[in-house]
Chains A and B, each alone.
Chain A
Amino acid sequence: MNRAILDLVAVLLPPCDREVILGDLAESSASLVSSLFAIIGFALRRQMLCWLSWQPWLAAIGLAATTTWLLMSNSLDVALGAMQWYRAPASWHYASQHLTDFTFSLLRLSAAAWSAGFAAARISRRTVWGSMLVLVGPSIHCFRLFHVETRVGDHIIQLSPFVLFLYLPLMAFGIRAGLRRLRPRPWPALLLIIPYCVQLILMTKIQHGPTFILLTLILLWPCWYLVWLTLPSIRHNKEAYSL
């Protein structure tokens, strides 16, 4: 029983440390409580030491302060697009238009969420869960204040605040790829940015000025980071993997 509890808590440690620490605790015949303190203390100390370098701060603050707003906006677009497509009056013209809007918004969300997760895990893999907590903070704040209604046909529908977190499952795939140190190839990386470029071109014609475009390009920094990783000089130095 004790061993099962310790094995469970030891998941906090990286596999190589886990083996050694659990072995040391077994050898010293430490009690369950002192073993738990030792494991948790070690995990906390490791985390704190990681945060002494600049990478975790870039991954956490860079994402939380910038990308999280874009991700929430995209999640909202996807939810509204899905609602319009699903509940709009039956008309082939409107249905195809709504489906196109929905597909583009889903592509944009996938690109931004995947690349944000990938960048966070790639820049600082040991603190990726800390980065995610910082990133989810603004979403939780907005969750509390959320009130969005949309008109579909003759009905007014209030959206659930949970739509703000639609980016999380897609981001999990990016985190997984980043933790496995997958190396993106140039074309898939560029494909992630294309949906945004299409959106920017369309918006320039409608109402948004150059400031908006510049802001969106800055918010897309995880996508640019992905493209940067595919550059030949970077690729040459490290082992190449497919996306």
Chain B
Amino acid sequence: MLGEFEYLILTVAATLDEDAYGAAIRLQIEQKTGRRCSIGALYTTIERLEAKGLLKTWMGDATPQRGGRSKRMVRVTPEGTRAAKQFYEAITKISVGAAWASHRPGAKV
């Protein structure tokens, strides 16, 4: 089972698709969750996910915006997609009936 932060990274990486790399993932997580995401937490989690075979990373192109330095590109593997889907389904099922999830379609009132 994934951890919460692992799920966030997998989801954002899948959403960004071809444009998924460290800084972009970090920005998306901060904007969508309203929480600060440290570079250390991001990259150590990306490494852990890669070690589990849920992500694949490689060095991308350097851009002038980055001071001529390379990006670390990220892609979700099929195993990563499966793990994220399992996590999402588990969270959705377990949330049914909870007060904060009662407005969701299909939830018991």
Please, which residue of chain B has its CB at the minimum distance from the CB of A44? B40
Q: Does A136 make an interface contact (CB < 8 A)?
A: no
Min C-beta distance of A32 to chain B, whole Å: 14
* Bound CA span A205–B26, Å: 69
Q: Does B66 make an interface contact (CB < 8 A)?
A: yes
**Per-residue contact bits, chain B 52-92, to A (CB 8 Å; 1 contact, 0 not):** 00000001001101110111100000000000000000000
* Bound CA span A81–B47, Å: 51
Interface size in chain B (residues, C-beta < 8 A): 20
- Which positions 1-56 of chain A face chain B at CB distance < 8 Å? 3, 16-17, 19-28, 38, 41-42, 44-46, 49
Top 9 A-B pairs ranked by shortest CB distance? A23-B69, A42-B40, A23-B66, A26-B67, A45-B40, A24-B23, A20-B72, A38-B39, A41-B40
- The secondary structure that dominates the B interface is helix
A26-B39 contact, Cβ under 8 Å, with A16-B59, A20-B71: no
Q: Does B33 make an interface contact (CB < 8 A)?
A: no
Interface size in chain A (residues, C-beta < 8 A): 20
Pair B69/A38 contact, Cβ less than 8 Å: no
Report chain B residues within 8 Å CB of A46. 40, 44
A28-B23 contact, Cβ under 8 Å, with A16-B59, A23-B71, A41-B38: yes
